[in-house]
Chain A
Amino acid sequence: MAKPKVAFYWCASCGGCEETVVDLAEDILKVVEAVDIVLWPVALDYKLKDVEAWRPGDVAVAFINGAVRLSEQAEWVRLLREKCSMVVAFGSCAHLGGIPGLANCTTREEILANKYHRAVTLDNPNNTEPQVHATVNGYDLDLPVFWKDVKPLDQVIDVDYYLPGCPPPARLVAEAVGAILKGELPPKGSVLAPEKSLCESCPLNETKPETIAIKAFKRVATSTPNPEECFLVQGYICLGPATRTGCGERCIRGNMPCRGCFGPTPGALDMGTKMLSALGSLGEANTEEAAHALADTMVDPLGTLYRFSLPASLLKRRVP
């Protein structure tokens, strides 16, 4: 029986998710033995017309990473949705918008103006800006349209499963590939990671006292956490309580409070406000003045609480 075919594709991404497949190390041989990789732009040459020639269902799974910001990315993901039986949103960007999602704090016009007209290091006397259509030396050239906002994958196509994380840990990827090959999958639309919050598996969980009472939020930019005590107890904003577990606490073990890349636990409509709710409960302030002073120590609530999930939030984006 022929090996199932899989495809990888990348949209607005950093390449870290491609790296994580490589990080399977020797385990990649098991993957390669079990499946036929028919598309992987970072590693294998490919042509669009070959993909267009696939029959729907020819390819079992497409692992798509990156958020969608360009019309070209939308065209590719729609094509892959048509040709592949299953689509897995791979990594935070495809799942929730990821770091590129923070571009929803600004507008396309601002981004292009900063990039092509205002940057200090620019030398652009003719105010040139990339155009969707241009004719150069008699040739018609096209560039993709730069969308007005950043979207996670499921705001563009139907997604079967999500592999969370920035990037998803190699182990989680290997487990997911295994589950897909065996056909042992949870209901469609599930995130392929445990359902509990990070605190459950955190090595610092036992250091939590009965009550946490944060008098002022601390920042890793201006002080160093103690690696042996729960970061929230110390006053650092750790998104552990609002974040799904399954990452192996790589950041915690690197003395860095959780930043929420795995996204929320099931049932949370909006990750940022859920965490804000938790911080209100964990704070110490019993007068309005003290409550305001506490809030003042949370610099950039939006960036802290929605670092990976802004486009997937209820409000979706900033409206200037």
Chain B
Amino acid sequence: MAVEGFEPRIVGFLCRWCSYTGADLAGTSRVQYPANLTGIRVMCSGRVDPTFVVKALADGADGVLIAGCHPGDCHYSEGNFKAMRRYPMLVRLLEQFGIEPGRVRLEWVSASEGEQFAALVREFTEQVRALGPLNWKERTEALCESA
């Protein structure tokens, strides 16, 4: 639920060859976009272990973005296809935990798509803002016995 004055904390896993470079292009081009995203460079979107996503959410993130090369352009040929296959499985798993599907996104951003990256971050930030804070730790503590 939307909460007043809430600034989402979003973790972004950006692939080194395309997406991180695209994000960097947004930066060097001085395109303004929200500071809600903390970018983490990985070698490939296929490197993104679903454990990273879950750990980010468990540790306080409100949303997670995974960005990689467009299908067919992966520097390692198939890494982004692995990410593509893992993503819907992960979203369904998170739904079963009670985490809204809108909190995790997989997008393709090429090295030249600086503007598009900025627009994506703007849009995703608003999407997560509307969902409200995840507060996973607090919400699970309320449903767990303090031992």
Contact = CB atoms under 8 A, between A and B. Distances in A.
Contact of A301 (B82, B85, B93): B93
A21 interface: no
Contact of A315 (B58, B82, B89): B58
A259 interface: no
B84 A285 contact: yes
A51 B120 CA distance: 63
Interface in A198-235: none
A83 B26 CA distance: 62
Contact of B85 (A155, A273, A274, A280): A280
A314 B53 CA distance: 10
A292 B136 contact: no
Interface string A308-319: 000001111111
A131 interface: no
Interface string B35-68: 0000000000000011101110110000000000
B3 interface: no
A318 B97 contact: yes
A175 to B, nearest CB: 31
A215 to B, nearest CB: 11
B33 interface: no
A151 interface: yes
B144 A317 contact: yes
Interface string A137-175: 000000000011101000110000000000000000000
B1 interface: no
A283 B91 CA distance: 16
Interface of A: 68, 74, 105, 107, 147-149, 151, 155-156, 268-270, 272-274, 276-277, 279-281, 283, 285-288, 291-292, 294-296, 298, 300-302, 305, 313-320
Given A68-B147, A105-B96, A319-B99, 5 more contacts: A270-B55, A276-B93, A295-B88, A305-B93, A316-B140
